[in-house]
Amino acid sequence: RQGALLGPAEIRDLAGRLGVRPTKTLGQNFVHDGGTVRKIVRAANLRGGERVVEIGPGLGSLTLGLLDAGASVVAVEIDPVLAAQIPLTVAAHVPGADVEVVHADAMDVTELPGDPPTALVANLPYNVAVPILLNFLERFPSLERVLVMVQAEVADRIAAKPGSKVYGIPSVKAAWYADARRSLPISRNVFWPVPNVDSALVALERRDPPPTTAHREAVFRVIDAAFAQRRKTLRAALSGLAGSGAAAEEALRAAGVDPGARGETLTVEEFARIAEHLA
């Protein structure tokens, strides 16, 4: 059942009428496959009537799927033409649905209209997917769950665990807020235009941040420093932050971390302990 959803003909027609020429800089690849939209909505596991924030609704493919599933949606779109069109598309496909559109850069959004959202569901613009995800987790504590589509490699990085080859800054910072797991792969062929990478869904469930007396900013500075020089030992990588190699070594030992280890083996709890002892 295509139902409320947009298929290839509708996407082409809508883009043509609006004069939309998708740009790479804004990561504009639109899903034109109702089956994929239904998969994403199912994976999001929404509760009835849940308040969802969507970033980058584009032509409305996923927005319609979320509304059709009974969600109430607040959508943040940077493109003025797309932002203005969403309410009209929604009225035509899911009459009476509850949608609000914020025309803004998601990176600048610090508040949202209406009830606080409990879920973030989005097909994120690829070049800013990680900063947008982390910003929203930080700024909207009401968010309990996240399901986002990102480039497949980025999905792996966000969900990676310590010791994995792709474990890095996105993995540790995401772990500060949530337990992340890679969900379904999504073929590049469900998009118009077809991107040159494959995608995947990542699901995140909010958790309590590690117990620490250090502030999040301080912990994130340690994470950034540790991975800025991936091949160096923590003692060397953190010597700048600590003031000297000896000071870094002392903080690492106090935190119970081997100064000869590398950042890619540490949990977010260990990074938090190091930040505490550097303070």
Question: Considering only residues 53, 66, 78, 186, which one is a binding residue for ligand SAM as defined by CB under 6 A?
Answer: 78
Can residue 151 be called a binding residue for ligand SAM (CB under 6 A)?
A: no
**Contact of 37 with 5, CB cutoff 8 Å:** yes
**Contact of 151 with 133, CB cutoff 8 Å:** no
Question: Considering only residues 34, 57, 210, 263, which one is a binding residue for ligand SAM as defined by CB under 6 A?
Answer: 57
| 135 among annotated binding-site residues | no
DSSP codes, 207-266:
-PPPP-SS-HHHHHHHHHHHHHTTTS-HHHHTHHHHSSHHHHHHHHHHTT--TTS-GGG-
| 264 among annotated binding-site residues | no
| Least CB distance to ligand SAM at residue 34 (A) | 12
Cβ-proximal residue to ligand SAM, closest one: 56
The window from 101-109, 138-146, 249-257, 258-266 that contacts ligand SAM (CB under 6 A) reads 101-109
Q: What are phi and psi of 66, to 5 degrees?
A: -65, -45
Per-residue burial over 65-99, b = 16 or more CB atoms within 10 Å of its CB, e = otherwise: bbbbbebbbbbbbbbeebbebbeebbeebbeebeb
| Least CB distance to ligand SAM at residue 127 (A) | 8
**Contact of 253 with 279, CB cutoff 8 Å:** no
Can residue 56 be called a binding residue for ligand SAM (CB under 6 A)?
A: yes
| Least CB distance to ligand SAM at residue 253 (A) | 42
Can residue 275 be called a binding residue for ligand SAM (CB under 6 A)?
A: no
- Which 222-261 residues touch ligand SAM, going by CB under 6 A? none
- The residues, any chain, with a CB within 8 Å of residue 139's CB and separated by 6 or more, are 109, 110
| Least CB distance to ligand SAM at residue 240 (A) | 31
Can residue 89 be called a binding residue for ligand SAM (CB under 6 A)?
A: no
| 31 among annotated binding-site residues | yes
Q: Which of 3, 2, 32, 27 is CA-nearest to residue 15?
A: 32
Cα of 154 vs its chain's centroid, Å: 10
- Which 117-136 residues touch ligand SAM, going by CB under 6 A? 123, 125, 128
Question: Considering only residues 10, 50, 79, 156, which one is a binding residue for ligand SAM as defined by CB under 6 A?
Answer: 79
Site pattern 8..37 for ligand SAM (x: CB under 6 A): ------------------xxxxxx------
| CA distances in angstroms from 220 to 29, 132, 177, 249, listed in the order given | 31, 16, 12, 19
Residues of this chain that bind ligand SAM (CB under 6 A): 26-31, 55-59, 61-62, 76-79, 82, 105-107, 123, 125, 128
